[in-house]
Amino acid sequence: MRWMPDTCGCAFERSVSEDGVVTLSKVLKQCEAHAAIRYPQDVYNAVREENRRKNIAVNAAQKAGVKGVRWSFDENRDVVLSGVDASVVEGMDRVKVST
């Protein structure tokens, strides 16, 4: 099963066990943002964590009534939301709003 996250240009081949556990089979493409990461599992883990963090932040903004949430990553790969009140992301690790 191929996975190409919307958070970067990486691409992965994953397998799913009979009991539904998803694991990395192969890194198909490693983007510039993750080029310095040496081991395939570490690349996969970093991308999954960024994707999860972005999804949580975007979902929180949408639940707060923000339509058309815009997001990006800064130079540290922290999620940056645009047009969102800071209270929406308060307490979220490595998530901030643009000013």
Domain range for 73: 2-97
What's the number of domains the chain is made of? 1
Q: Taking the model in full, what pTM does it have?
A: 0.92
Sign of CA dihedral 57, 60, 65, 67: positive
Q: Which helix or strand (DSSP H or E) is residue 74 part of?
A: none
pLDDT tens by residue, 48-96: 999 999 999 999 999 999 999 999 999 999 999 999 999 999 999 999 9
State the residue for tokens 């339509």.
67
* pLDDT on residue 97: 96
The single residue listed with the structure tokens 């643009």 is 98
| Host H or E run for residue 2 | strand 2-3
